[in-house]
Every structure is written in structure tokens, then in C-alpha cells.
Amino acid sequence: MDTDELIARLNAHAPPALKTLGGSIVSYDEPTQTMVMNFHASEAFCHSGDIVQGGFITGMLDATMSHAVFAMVKEHIILPTLEIKVSFLEIARAGNLVASGTVVRLGKSVAFLEGQLKDPQGKLLATASSTARILQKK
């Protein structure tokens, strides 16, 4: 399966949470094991005007990092997050956002991940690191 087919398959089977976040896969780079996704943060995600609440940002980063593993493994797996750390560097405003997620290390049962969230101009808004458990889907 080539990269375009993989992206189409992952987008077609996007979970409801990803759809709620307005997320879609843009690209996957196999050599760097990096997934890029676009998100649309609606005003419903905001507090204090148009500032996106941190939980939604965390969800965007978590989804992007997880999808990097889904692209690598190419099997039907479940990937519950064991821990996640997010650093909020700048205010994220309602509208389009771009997230990248990279697989740092992939073991048999655990994945170590990193992510970044940027605005459309490339300004870094948040970073994340995560550990996730790899389970076979039954």
C-alpha cells in the first residue's frame, strides 16, 4: 500500500473524536515516521474569546501522534495513551491548526511519541510527548 492509499484508508476510518476535532490527515513521511494532520478549532472549543482550550489542543496532538503509529504498524491495533505531557508555548486561536506527530521509538508493546502544534503560518503553539500501549485489536 502506497502512502496516498494509506492516508485515504486512515481518513476513511477516522474515529468520531477525530471528526469532532475537525481533523484530517495531510501527509505521512515514512523515513521520519512523521504524520501531519490539519485541524479546525471551532469557536465551540474556545474560552476567553477565541482562545482554544488546552484539552482540545491535547486531543489534537494525541490523535496525530497515535496516527503516526497506525501508519507505521499498518495493522489493526488499539493504542491507549499511558501518559501525555503537553507544553503550551503560545495561545492557539480558533481556526485552522497543523499538528505533526513522530514515532520516537516503537517497541512490541509500547510506543514513545512526540508532537507539535502550529498555526497556519508555522508558529509553534504547543509540544507534546507521549507513551502509548500497543494492543492487538480483537
pLDDT digits (tens, 9 = 90+) for 33-88: 999 999 999 999 999 889 999 999 999 999 999 999 999 997 789 999 999 999 99
Distance between CA atoms of residues 57 and 137, nearest Å: 27
pTM for the structure as a whole: 0.95
Task: Give how many domains the chain has, as a whole number.
Answer: 1
Check residue 130 and give its pLDDT: 99
What CATH number has the domain bearing residue 30? Answer: 3.10.129.10
Domain containing 69 equals 3-136
Q: What does the alpha-carbon distance between residue 83 and residue 132 come to, in Å, rounded to a whole number?
A: 7
Cα separation, 92 vs 77, in Å, equals 31
The answer on pLDDT for 137 being more than 90 is no
Cα distance between residue 20 and residue 101, in whole Å: 19
Q: How far apart are CA 19 and CA 4, in angstroms?
A: 20
Helix (H, G, I), strand (E, B) or coil at 7: helix
138 pLDDT band, cuts 50/70/90, is confident
Mean pLDDT of the chain: 95
Listed in sequence order, the residues at least 6 apart from 77 whose beta carbon sits closer than 8 Å to its beta carbon are 69, 70, 134, 135, 136, 137
